[in-house]
Structure 1
Amino acid sequence: MGSAQPLAHRDVVPDVPAAQVLSNVIPLRARRVQLEVFLADTSPATRRTHLATLFHSPLGVYISHAQLLRNKTCVQFNIAPEDLDFTLHTLIGTISEATIGKISRIAN
């Protein structure tokens, strides 16, 4: 057995120039946006119900932060820009009392 030799570019993709292979690299992470949503709460029980509803809905996977304030709950969603339409429609259908706050880009 010979010693392990690193593969050269020509051994992996013999007919494609190295510059062309590198230009076809797709980044692993797309840009993300943060959507801020406020839930007006009148009681602690309502707060728990709204949060439980969101966490158990299809939107639960997008929740990055939830903060209980004095009279409302602030929920932040970390989403891909192409999921914004789905997120807003699902949010309105799930909790119609939600107030949509700012949308901002997340620095990568």
Structure 2
Amino acid sequence: MGRWAHLYALPQWKRLRALHLREHPLCVMCMEAGDCERATIVDHKRPHRGDMRLFLDPANLQSLCKPHHDSSKQWEENRGMSGGCDADGNPLDERHPWNSNRKRVTS
């Protein structure tokens, strides 16, 4: 959290977080993988970087378990794309450079 840690102490955030976990109690990444793990973290899909509109936007939130938040989500934020590939080894994320090169060649 670092620079924006103080935002997580705001009463508005605490209420929004509790409501979100009550309405969305399972980790979205676990569910995508066919698992069913309880979420403990409310994550911002788009990094807010101090923008209060993004910080408190319910549409910008997702429920994650701690392992996914601390690994997969951090990897994705640091690289600007998610990991993973299909059965042929092609990257799944459309933002991956390999996919953008492929679209130009096949278009």
Q: Same fold (TM over 0.5)?
A: no
Larger Rg: 1
Q: Hey, which of these two has a bigger chunk of strand by percent? A: 1
**TM-score of the two chains, using structure 1 as the length reference:** 0.20
Q: Hey, which of these two has a bigger chunk of helix by percent? A: 2
The structure whose RCO (Cα within 8 Å, separation 6+) is larger is 1
**TM-score of the two chains, using structure 2 as the length reference:** 0.20
